[in-house]
Amino acid sequence: MNQPTYATSGLTKVYGEGHSAVHALRGVDLEIPSGDIVVLLGPSGSGKSTLLNIVGGLDRGTDGVVTFRDQTLSDMSEAELTRYRRNHVGFVFQFYNLMPSLTARENVELVTEIAADPMDADEALALVGLKERTDHFPAQLSGGEQQRVAIARAIAKQPDVLFCDEPTGALDSETGRSVLRVLSDVNERLGSTVLMVTHAASQAQMADRVIHFADGAIREIVENTKKLSPEEIAW
């Protein structure tokens, strides 16, 4: 296994208290190797997004330890967590969350203006195949193109890790495949670790490692010895 980017130990998350408490994570021990594509599969409500949000520094666990390389996320102050997110992590969600009044380039520049070591916004848009659309507004772009702008925004900071929560959830499968292609290229070209939650189980075929999640816990981790390219995957 490559050097782990993340390690969690006894990670728990409880939402609420008393009778209404929801145990979203029940003691998760996990290592995520650097540079891998990791896919997280599991039923709705099993805790996948909760895990993604905690290792991505958007939320905190109730108990347990989370490390990113030699840093302990679970001990960080809010300011340190913000710095961690800003400098190391990119997010791609099911809905693209673009600013409608800004062009594709300006949406990406929102990030490049504050990141520590960003690439040029135009370069990021070229990487996702949108070189010709940099001056277009979101409403002038298709769903797949908007998602690629969101990916350009996430990768422009040259993140060590790209978190993707249902990145193809709002797309037809052909457009979804082009988005997976971009994620795979980013993993190869920038060396970013990719951690992706999906309901489309067949997408796990492009992963190095597949984590099966159920009821707030890891059921199984499978190493994928025969990775498929996104173009070979059907869902």
Ligand X SMILES: Nc1ncnc2c1ncn2[C@@H]1O[C@H](COP(=O)(O)OP(=O)(O)OP(=O)(O)O)[C@@H](O)[C@H]1O
Residues within window 15-74 making contact with ligand X, judged by CB under 6 A = 15-16, 22, 24, 42, 44-50
Instruction: Between 28 and 125, name the residue whose CB sits nearer to ligand X.
Output: 28
Look up tokens 């800003």; give the residue. 86
Comparing CB distances to ligand X, the nearer of 44 and 225 is 44
3-state secondary structure of 165: strand
Q: Are 233 and 179 in contact (CB under 8 A)?
A: no
User: Per rule CB under 6 A, is residue 94 in the interface with ligand X?
Assistant: no
Q: Smallest Cα–Cα separation from 153: which of 172, 184, 130? A: 130
For residue 186, which of 98, 105, 92 has the smallest C-alpha distance? 92
In the complex with ligand X, the residue whose CB is nearer, 16 or 18, is 16
Residues 6+ apart with CB under 8 A from 107: 98, 99, 138, 149, 153
CB distance 138 to 96 below 8 Å: yes
CB atoms under 10 Å from CB of 59, counted, come to: 16
Is the Cβ–Cβ distance between 175 and 146 less than 8 Å?
Answer: no
Least spacing, CB of residue 50 vs ligand X, in Å: 3
Pattern 96-135, binding to ligand X, x per CB under 6 A? ----------------------------------------
Q: How far is the CB of 166 from ligand X (least distance, A)?
A: 7
- The 163-192 site mask, x for binding ligand X (CB under 6 A), equals ------------------------------
* Beta carbon nearer to ligand X, 138 or 216: 216
Residue 26: CB minimum distance to ligand X, A: 11
Closer of 8 and 46 to ligand X (Cβ): 46
DSSP symbol at 101: T
> Using CB under 6 A as the criterion, which residues of the chain lie in contact with ligand X when the complex forms?
15-16, 22, 24, 42, 44-50
